C-alpha cells in the first residue's frame, strides 16, 4: 500500500466532504445545535480544550479520526513510546518522553539503559542547580545556546517568573555581538556563571558567544556545559564535573526536559523542574490512552490537517493571553516549523501535498493592536489557538478580567463577524476558526502539559503527512554554507550575489 496519504480512501472522502462543507458558516452550526460547546470541548487535569469554534461537523471529526486511524498514528505513537529509532534519516530515537518518566521503562538505546541515564541526569540537574543556588556569590547566569538549546529553557524561565527565586538568567543566542555585549555590560565576572548549552558543541553562534564569554570572565571556573559532545566541552576548558551530558536521541526542540533544562532548575528550584516534568507526563498519559475522539493533541493535529490540506489555509496563529507566555509563539515556531517544514516523505519521495503551515503569534492583547485586523477582515483565513489562564499569579483581578474578556471577544468576533452595519466596510462575514485552551493556572505543572501537548500535536501531523518530524536538513545546509563563506581562500560554492556582497562587506 502507498504511504502517500492522499491515496487513502479516508483522504479522498475528506476532500469530497470539504467540497460539501463549502459555504458552511459556524454561526449556523451553533444555531442548529445549542449543545455545540458541550459536545466540542474536553477537559484533562486542569486544562480545557474548546474546539467548538471550528468549521467542522460531527461528520468532519469522525472522518478526521478515521484518517488518523488509517495513517497508523497509534502504532507510530507506540514506536515513539518504545524508544524505537523513528528518526530514520539520522538513525536515532526521539525519546524525549523518557526524560519525564514516560515510555517503556526498560529501553536500551545503543546499549545504554535509558532509565539509568535519566536518573543520573536528574541527579546532576539537582546537585548542580542546588550548588549554584546556594552559592551566594552567583547572582547571574548566562545561558549560551541557540534553537532548542535556548528556546525551551527560555520559555519556561520567562513563563514561571513568579516561581523563580534563584539567580537571574540571561539568554544569549544570537551571534550578533550586540546581544552578548549588552548582557555582559551589566554583569561582574565574580558573580556570573555561564552555561554553554549545545547538543553538538559545534554550533557556530554558541561557540563564538562562549569564547567571548570566556575572554570576558578570564577563567572557566564558573562555566558549565550541557552537551552530547562532552569531549569538546572539556577541550573548551570546562571542568569534567561541570559537564552535564545529553544524548543524540534527545532532539534540540524537545530537549528542555533534559539537562538542557538546567537553567529552569537553577531559577525555580529542582522541585519545580520535577513538577514541570510531571505535567508533561500527565499529557503523555492522556495522549497515549485517550481515544482519538477525545484526545486533545490528536484532535488539535487533525484540525490543523483539515485546514491545511482540505481548506488550503496556509498559516496558523498562536495567541497566548498571558504576558509571561510571550516567547511561546517563537517556541512553537521552532517546534512545528523545524519539525514539519518538509517536502520529502519518509520514503524519500517528493511530496505533492501541503505540510507544515506558517506559524506566527503574539500575546494578547498586544496582537489585537497589531495584526488581528487581518485575521478578522483580511483575504486569508488564519486558524488560531487562543491560550487563556483562569487563575492569575498576581492579585490585579481587574486586569485579569479585562485580559480574558478580550480573548473571549476576539474568538467570538472571529466566528460571528459583523452582519449588520451602517457602512459596507464595517461588515464582514466572520467564520474564522479558533480553538481555546484554558489552563487553570500558569504553573510548572500546566506549563509542562502545554509544551507536551504541542509536541504531540506536531508528532501526529508529521505521521499523517508521512514525514520525518525529527530531522532538519534545510537548517543544516545554511550552517554548512556559512562556514564555507567564512573560510579563507576561494569560495567555489558561493554564487555570484554572495561573492559580490562578500566583497562589499569587506571593503
Pair 415, 434: CB distance under 8 Å: yes
CB of 108 vs ligand F6P, minimal distance in Å? 24
Rounded to a whole number of angstroms, the minimum distance from the CB of residue 469 to ligand F6P is 12
CA distances (Å), 193 to each of 15, 401, 454, in order? 56, 40, 32
Round to whole Å and give the CA distance between 14 and 20.
10
Q: List Cβ neighbours of 137 (8 Å cut-off, separation of 6 or more).
A: 190, 191
Of 256 and 437, which has the nearer Cβ to ligand F6P?
256
Asked if residue 87 binds ligand F6P (CB under 6 A), the reply is no
Q: Report CA 229 to chain centroid distance, whole Å.
A: 24
Among the residue ranges 46-54, 146-154, 440-448, 484-492, the one whose residues contact ligand F6P (CB under 6 A): 146-154
Nearest to 264 by CA among 74, 453, 46, 448: 448
**The one segment of 141-149, 154-162, 405-413, 462-470 that binds ligand F6P by CB under 6 A:** 141-149
Minimal distance, residue 207 CB to ligand F6P, in Å: 8
Q: Which residue's CB is nearer to ligand F6P, number 309 or number 472? A: 472
Burial 152-190, CB ≥16 within 10 A → b, else e = bbbbbbbbbeebbebbbbbbbbebeeebbeebbeebeee
Kindly state the smallest distance separating residue 91's Cβ from ligand F6P, in Å.
16
Question: In 407-494, which ranges are E strands?
Answer: 434-441
Under rule CB under 6 A, residue 148 binds ligand F6P: yes
Name residues contacting ligand F6P, limited to 162-201 (CB under 6 A): 198-200
Distances from the Cα of 314 to the Cαs of 23, 379, 467, in angstroms? Answer: 19, 12, 18
Closest CA to 150 of 342, 274, 327, 276: 327
Q: For ligand F6P, which is the closer residue by CB, 206 or 222?
A: 206
Tell the smallest beta-carbon distance from residue 6 to ligand F6P (Å): 29
Q: Which is nearer to ligand F6P, 142 or 415 (CB)?
A: 142
206 is a site residue for ligand F6P (CB under 6 A):
yes
**Residue from 83, 147, 297, 357 that binds ligand F6P (CB under 6 A)?**
147
* Smaller CB separation from ligand F6P, 68 or 151: 151
Q: Check if the beta carbon of residue 336 is closer than 8 Å to that of residue 251.
A: no
Other C-beta atoms closer than 10 Å to the C-beta of 392 total 18
Shortest reach from residue 474's CB to ligand F6P, in Å: 9
Which residue lies nearest ligand F6P, judged by its C-beta?
252
Please report whether residue 203 would count as binding ligand F6P according to CB under 6 A: yes
**Residue 221 annotated in active site:** no
Does residue 252 touch ligand F6P according to CB under 6 A?
yes
| Active-site choice (62, 188, 369, 426) | 369
Across the strands, what pairs with 41? Answer: 50
Q: In what order do the strands lie in the sheet with 315-320?
A: 41-44, 47-50, 434-441, 384-391, 315-320, 358-361
The residues, any chain, with a CB within 8 Å of residue 172's CB and separated by 6 or more, are: 142, 143, 144, 179, 180, 183, 209, 213
472 binds ligand F6P (CB under 6 A): yes
507 catalytic residue (yes or no): no
Q: What is the DSSP letter of 242?
A: G
**Catalytic residue, candidates 10, 338, 362, 455:** 338
Residue closer to ligand F6P by CB (options 355, 472) is 472
149 binds ligand F6P per the rule CB under 6 A:
yes
Q: Which is nearer to ligand F6P, 192 or 198 (CB)?
A: 198
* Smallest distance, ligand F6P to C-beta of residue 149, A: 4
Q: Is 212 in the site for ligand F6P (CB under 6 A)?
A: no
CA angle 121, 125, 127 (to 5 degrees): 115
User: To the nearest whole angstrom, how small is the minimum distance from the Cβ of residue 92 to ligand F6P?
Assistant: 12
Residue 309 has which C-alpha cell?
490540506
Residue 338 catalytic? yes
Per CB under 6 A, residues contacting ligand F6P are 146-149, 198-200, 203, 206, 252-253, 338, 472, 475
Q: Which residues are catalytic?
A: 338, 369, 479
Amino acid at each position: 500500500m502507498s504511504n502517500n496519504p492522499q491515496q487513502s480512501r479516508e483522504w479522498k472522502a475528506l476532500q469530497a466532504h470539504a467540497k460539501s462543507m463549502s459555504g458552511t458558516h459556524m454561526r449556523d452550526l451553533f444555531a442548529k445545535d445549542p449543545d455545540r460547546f458541550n459536545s466540542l470541548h474536553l477537559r484533562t487535569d486542569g486544562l480545557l480544550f474548546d474546539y467548538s469554534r471550528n468549521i467542522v461537523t460531527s461528520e468532519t471529526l469522525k472522518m478526521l479520526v478515521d484518517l488518523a486511524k488509517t495513517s497508523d498514528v497509534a502504532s507510530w505513537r507506540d514506536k515513539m513510546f518504545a524508544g524505537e529509532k523513528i528518526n530514520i534519516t539520522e538513525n536515532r530515537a526521539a525519546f524525549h518522553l523518557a526524560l519525564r518518566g514516560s515510555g517503556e521503562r526498560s529501553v536500551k538505546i545503543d546499549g545504554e539503559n535509558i532509565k539509568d541515564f535519566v536518573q543520573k541526569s536528574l541527579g546532576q540537574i539537582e546537585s548542580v542547580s542546588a550548588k549554584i543556588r546556594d552559592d551566594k556569590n552567583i547572582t547571574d547566569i548566562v545561558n549560551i545556546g541557540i534553537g532548542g538549546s535556548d528556546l525551551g529553557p527560555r520559555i519556561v524561565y520567562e513563563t514561571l517568573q513568579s516561581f523563580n527565586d534563584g539567580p537571574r538568567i540571561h539568554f544569549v543566542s544570537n551571534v550578533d555581538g550586540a546581544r552578548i555585549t549588552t548582557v555582559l555590560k551589566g554583569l561582574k565576572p565574580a558573580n556570573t556563571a555561564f552555561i554553554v548549552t549545545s547538543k553538538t558543541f559545534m554550533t557556530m553562534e554558541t561557540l563564538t558567544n562562549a569564547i567571548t564569554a570566556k575572554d570576558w570572565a578570564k577563567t572557566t571556573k564558573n562555566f558549565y556545559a550541557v552537551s552530547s559532545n562532552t569531549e569538546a566541552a572539556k577541550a573548551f576548558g570546562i571542568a569534567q564535573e561541570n559537564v552535564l551530558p545529553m544524548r543524540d536521541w534527545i532532539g534540540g526542540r524537545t530537549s528542555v526536559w533534559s539537562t538542557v533544562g538546567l537553567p529552569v532548575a537553577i531559577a525555580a528550584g529542582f522541585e519545580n523542574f520535577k513538577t514541570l516534568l510531571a505535567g508533561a507526563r500527565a499529557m503523555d498519559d492522556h495522549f497515549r490512552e485517550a481515544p482519538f475522539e477525545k484526545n486533545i493533541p490528536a484532535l488539535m493535529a487533525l484540525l490543523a490537517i483539515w485546514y491545511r490540506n482540505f481548506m488550503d489555509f496556509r498559516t496558523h496563529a498562536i495567541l497566548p493571553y498571558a504576558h509571561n507566555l510571550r516567547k511561546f509563539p517563537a517556541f512553537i515556531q521552532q517546534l512545528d516549523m523545524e519539525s514539519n517544514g518538509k517536502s520529502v516523505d519518509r520514503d524519500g519521495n517528493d511530496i505533492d501535498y501541503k505540510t507544515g503551515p506558517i506559524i506566527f503569534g503574539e500575546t494578547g492583547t498586544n496582537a489585537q493592536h497589531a495584526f488581528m485586523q487581518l485575521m478578522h477582515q483580511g483575504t486569508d483565513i488564519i486558524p488560531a489557538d487562543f491560550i487563556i489562564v483562569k487563575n492569575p499569579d498576581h492579585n490585579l483581578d481587574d486586569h485579569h478580567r479585562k485580559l480574558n474578556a478580550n480573548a473571549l471577544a476576539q474568538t467570538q468576533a472571529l466566528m460571528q463577524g459583523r452582519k449588520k452595519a451602517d457602512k459596507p466596510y464595517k461588515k464582514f462575514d466572520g467564520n474564522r476558526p479558533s480553538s481555546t485552551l484554558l489552563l487553570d493556572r500558569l504553573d510548572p505543572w500546566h506549563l509542562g502539559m502545554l509544551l507536551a501537548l504541542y509536541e504531540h500535536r506536531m508528532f501526529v501531523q508529521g505521521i499523517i503527512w508521512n514525514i520525518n518530524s525529527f530531522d532538519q536538513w534545510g537548517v543544516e545546509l545554511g550552517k554548512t554554507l556559512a562556514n564555507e563563506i567564512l573560510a579563507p581562500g576561494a569560495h567555489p560554492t558561493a554564487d555570484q550575489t554572495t561573492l559580490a556582497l562578500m566583497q562589499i562587506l569587506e571593503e
